[in-house]
Amino acid sequence: MRYSIFFRVPSFLVLLLCLASCATQKSASVAPQDAHVAYMGRVGKPSPEAAELYWSGTSVKLNFEGTSVKARLKDSTGKSYYNVIIDGDSISILQPDTEAKLYTLASGLKPGKHTVELFKRTEWDKGTTTFYGFELENGGKTLPAAAPKTRKIEFYGNSITAGYAAEDYSGKDNPAGTNTNNYVSYAALTTRFFDADYTCICKSGIGITVSWEPLIMPEIYNRLNPSDSTSKWDFSQKQPDIVVINLFQNDSWIVEQPQNAQFKRRFGTTKPSEEFLITAYQNFVKNIRSKYPNAHIIAMLGNMDITRAGSPWPGYVEKAVAGLQDQKVYNLFAPYKDTPGHPRVEEQQAMANQLIKFIQEKLNW
């Protein structure tokens, strides 16, 4: 004789089990201001529901446990590009749309702990990206953010620092699309080598006294949102150990072009004197020093034709630095690369190697 035994489960218990099961599958939203979200660079935080990414090299990072992660994003132009970095290694490229959308950054990950980072590879004139937060599915959960990095490096530069056309090997020197990549710039490479916090204030075509476009670096270096003259950065938020200034490349071209519209706007009909250029450089360094009284400041040039043989511009910077009589301001000139266009990835790496060695030997890092 066989017996079948059935246990009747109370209906309320069935409901509880169902709710528990559903809860484990429900996606978890991680707001932009959540303590588990970590940012690098100058990031706008207009509300608890949104963060704004402007500058090259700005990044947002999350440590989490789970098998997938998404982010909700919207770009002002649809022309910004990001590196999606999973576990510090695997990299894909994301181009956010002009409408807010949820993007899958990674799926099918092995169960366990992971890190996701969105790193802005393009420049601020390509668009501002609004970040609305991460989403974790299938029971994923946030993990504590890493401790703040003990070292901090900040850069002020032009297209060289931006990584303009670094990945364009067509010979056209075209910054469009994914050709520009700040992640492979000498600035980002150097910062990652030292595992330092990274801030990059840069714009292709910009100078200290004159630019190819209306704005010069002394007019935007202190902005949070570079497109907004009323948006000011609070320098007390972060005090870098090292500031690298790599400017003057564009000045060196435009001061020789009296018919250029920006030449006329800045100088009228008279080419600026050596004394004017040296003083302007000194004043910019003084501005940086006033914000960062304890930082080491590296006055860097190169590796385009500003450091070619016979160029007077390294001499201008040397005189400017000498005149400052500041023991924590240094010169560093990258050799002229003597190839067409902007520095490609390997030429960016060469500059990084030089800067890394300088920091190790001069600053004992």
pLDDT tens-digit map of 293-343: 999 999 999 999 999 999 999 999 999 999 999 999 999 999 999 999 999
Task: Tell me how many degrees the CA angle 131-132-135 measures, rounded to the nearest 5.
Answer: 115
- State residue 15's pLDDT score: 40
What is the token pair recorded at 173?
């020197």
- Which amino acid, 155? F
What is the token pair recorded at 17?
């089990």
What is the distance, to the nearest Å, from the Cα of residue 188 to the centroid of all Cα atoms in its chain?
A: 8
- State residue 171's pLDDT score: 79
Instruction: Kindly state whether residues 138 and 160 are assigned to the same domain.
Output: no
In a domain, 5, yes or no: no
- State residue 23's pLDDT score: 44
Question: Cis before residue 283, ω within 30 degrees of 0?
Answer: no
Q: Which residue has the tokens 């609305």?
A: 132
What is the token pair recorded at 171?
């010979």
Decide which of 119, 142, 165 is a domain's last residue. Answer: 142
- Which amino acid, 92? S
CATH number for position 287: 3.40.50.1110
Nearest alpha-carbon partner for 297 in 288, 305, 287, 308: 288
Give me the number of domains the chain comprises. 2
Any idea what DSSP says for residue 182?
G
3-class DSSP state of 184: helix
Instruction: Kindly state whether residues 137 and 203 are assigned to the same domain.
Output: no
In a domain, 147, yes or no: no
CATH number for position 92: 2.60.120.260
- State residue 14's pLDDT score: 37
Instruction: Kindly state whether residues 158 and 206 are assigned to the same domain.
Output: yes
- State residue 138's pLDDT score: 86
Instruction: Kindly state whether residues 201 and 337 are assigned to the same domain.
Output: yes
Instruction: Kindly state whether residues 256 and 299 are assigned to the same domain.
Output: yes
In a domain, 224, yes or no: yes
- State residue 169's pLDDT score: 86
Instruction: Kindly state whether residues 166 and 296 are assigned to the same domain.
Output: yes
- State residue 339's pLDDT score: 95
In a domain, 14, yes or no: no
Decide which of 142, 166, 183 is a domain's last residue. Answer: 142
Give 216-267 as a DSSP string: -HHHHTTBSSTT-TT-B--GGG---SEEEEE--HHHHHHTT-TTSHHHHHHH
Decide which of 142, 166, 200 is a domain's last residue. Answer: 142
Q: Give the residues of the chain that fall short of pLDDT 50.
A: 1-24
The parent domain of residue 318 ranges over: 152-362
